[in-house]
Amino acid sequence: MNMQQAKQVIEKLYNAVDNKNLDFLDEILADDVNFRIGNYDTVTGKPNVLAANKQFFTSITSMNHTLDKVWHFENDVLCNGIVDYIRLDGSECSAYFSTVLTFVKDKVIEYFVYVDISAL
């Protein structure tokens, strides 16, 4: 994967997440993916990861990720930025985030998001 491809995959991922598009996640995630957000326990397996994302998507009205930087090294793609949330009550909350994706071939095998979502 080159830098242009790394930027494209991160942009596609966060466009899908911001649109609560589970179909894209289903396409890009490996069957035995490991997913973790914040201080929550790691979730293993595509069906469980999709269910966890679906549950999170229903806990907010919307979100919008703004990417600051993207890096890649071998099979890893990393990014950071800020995410703006709109809670179900209409109030707003923002948080800085970093994400680490590890690919095997064209599938994400590790999907780790470092963000403090305790204010949600």
* pLDDT tens, residue by residue, 56-78: 999 999 999 999 999 999 999 99
**Taking all residues of the chain, what is their mean pLDDT, rounded to a whole number?**
96
Residue 120 is predicted with a pLDDT of 87
Domains defined for the chain, CATH in brackets: 3-115 (3.10.450.50)
Which residue spans within 29-119 are E strands per DSSP?
29-37, 43-44, 60-73, 76-87, 92-104, 107-115
